[in-house]
Structure 1
Amino acid sequence: MNIKGDDSMKLGLKDRFSIVKGLLYLILGICCVYLIVTGRYLNYIAPRYELLLGISSVALILGGLATVIWAPSRYYKHNWRSIVPIIIPVVLLIVPPVLVPTTSVQGAARINDDTNNFDFTNDAIGEVITVNSESKEPGISKDKKEIVLNSDNFYQTIVKVGSNVDQYKDYTVYMTGYVNRDDNTLKSNEFTISRMAMSCCIADVAPIGMTAYKPDGDSLANEQWVSIEGKVSTRDFHGRQQPYVEITKIKSAEPILGYVYP
């Protein structure tokens, strides 16, 4: 039995732990690049962090290659459990449906964004129109006394209206969102017209919207997407005035996939 020969063979091999660790870093970096190229990173982080994600991707790829290339040519005793924190994000990003979200994922690339029809003057379907540039930031026209919400101004405009509710009373509001009844303070025929908002990353995703009332509002299915026209009213909510939309017209809308941001 040639023990010395076996030892010499081992010394001629790369450290397996270093190679595995380097490959995992490399795969994770490639996954991040894929998310950036396809735009699917928007499922996980806000757009303003795209550059940071890109820098991290390059660092992971270079670090992984360096770890493999310069792996020591001998075996060391390692704790293999230490690579679990690298394996977890790799698995989450590679295994469907996390990397390839279904259409129900709110953060997928936006479709039908700002193209829902707010023209309630004709038939129930009408021609699909694009919200014009006048409805961009901040989404409020004082001349027309109108508030038109879209993905670009949804978060900021709702915060602005909520902070100055008396100023916008009786304004006509147009918005598209899904019926949300998670608020346990809602009364009969009340619901919130919501979109999912992301401040930083997927960990802080939460719905934001405006409370609305419709005489037969309870007949609407929860999470049903609707476009509405209504009047901004106010009501007392724990000692302060809260904006409140009295719906005058409503119809079904196509879901808008994508988060709204501060």
Structure 2
Amino acid sequence: MKLKGKGINVQALTECACYLLFGILLFRLTVTGGYLSYVTPRMKPYLYGLSALMVLWAVMGAGKIFRPRYKGRMFHCLVLGIPILILAVPPAPPAGSAAIKNYSSSSIPGSDSKGSPIDYGSTSEQETAGFDYYEDETEEEQTDYSAGNAGNGDDGQQAQNKQPDLLKGAGLNGIDENAKTITIADDDYYAWMTELGAHADKYQGYTVTMKGFVFLDLENRQEHEFALVRLSMWCCSADMAPMGLMADDLKGLGFKENNWITVTGKLLVKDGYPTIEAENIVAAEKPEQEYVYPYY
């Protein structure tokens, strides 16, 4: 009886092709950084491992290609066929606000006047993110450092000089205590949102400069209000949510929702919430890594 495939095991050939193609596409997505639209950076080594495993399976199955079978089963190859199509033609990433329409804006302090202030800086999150710079200090010392007036003379000067070092050690870069300015870089975004969400009173009156996109889907939003946010991804794209601060622009916002902008203004605490009173707003380029990953 003549075997199907003329000496070629079509099932084994299809399986090997699927393994190899999936491995190559997954490797390409990981190398180019495209995987960051779906999962966090900590998944990178696992994606490399899965790519290598797919190639290994393809090599191991290659020996069966020339062992013909009378009847091949192909339906199970769809398990890899669908993700291959997704990886080969990835969908365009959704606009910022479109990606979070199904989520509450409660992660933006002050976005809902009915709620209570959001505390990004819970004990567990601070420890994970490295916010333990007050751990060895007494409550009295912490208060003195925050006020910048721990005493007179040399002791007082040392206490004043200690606070910037503590902040820097906690990952809070971009602060100038003398000029009372905070410049939030892309890499420090999560650290500062955590700090400002938990300890906004310490920084009231500081001039803050930060980048984000305009988010308007807020409860009880006034005409001059908007949220300056970035998308926070804890695990994968399915759990993305906005993280940022409310802003007031009494001059009238000249930008549309989803526009990336850089805002400079005074940080005020209104009803316990940190809010930027915008003094200058300019268009900004979307950062290469637009999402915020709390845990790398």
TM-score normalised by the chain length of structure 1: 0.73
Return the match for 2:201 from 145, 161, 166: 166
Unaligned runs of 5+ in 1: 107-133
Which residue number in structure 1 is paired with residue 109 of structure 2? none
Is 2:139 aligned against 1:139? no
Task: From the superposition, tell whether residues 246 and 105 of structure 1 become closer, same or farther in structure 2 (CA, over 3 Å).
Answer: closer
What SS class does the counterpart of residue 221 from structure 1 fall into?
coil
Runs of 4+ in 1 over 4 A off after TM superposition: 101-106
Contact 1:149/1:157 (8 A) holds in 2: yes
Deviation digits for residues 22-61 of structure 1 (CA, Å, limit 9, x no counterpart) = 2111101001111233232223222222111111110011
- Partner AA of 1:93 in structure 2: L
d(CA) in 1 for partners of 2:17, 2:177? 60
Map residues 1-262 of structure 1 onto 2, 5 A cutoff. Answer: 4=1, 6=2, 9-10=3-4, 13-70=7-64, 73-76=68-71, 78=73, 80-95=74-89, 98=91, 137-141=171-175, 143-144=177-178, 145-236=180-271, 241-258=272-289, 259-262=291-294
Displacement after TM superposition at 1:104 (Å):
7.0
Contact 1:24/1:86 (8 A) holds in 2: yes
Displacement after TM superposition at 1:163 (Å):
1.2
- Partner AA of 1:233 in structure 2: L
Displacement after TM superposition at 1:223 (Å):
1.9
Displacement after TM superposition at 1:194 (Å):
1.6
Q: How many residues align?
A: 220
Contact 1:23/1:65 (8 A) holds in 2: no
d(CA) in 1 for partners of 2:286, 2:260? 6
d(CA) in 2 for partners of 1:35, 1:24? 16
d(CA) in 1 for partners of 2:266, 2:43? 37
Contact 1:191/1:217 (8 A) holds in 2: no
d(CA) in 2 for partners of 1:232, 1:10? 74
What SS class does the counterpart of residue 227 from structure 1 fall into?
strand
Which residue number in structure 2 is paired with residue 119 of structure 1? none
Tell me which protein shows more helix as a share of its residues. 2
Unaligned runs of 5+ in 2: 98-167
d(CA) in 1 for partners of 2:77, 2:293? 34
Contact 2:9/2:64 (8 A) holds in 1: no
d(CA) in 2 for partners of 1:205, 1:194? 12
d(CA) in 2 for partners of 1:230, 1:242? 15
Which residue number in structure 1 is paired with residue 113 of structure 2? none
Contact 1:137/1:152 (8 A) holds in 2: no
TM-score normalised by the chain length of structure 2: 0.65
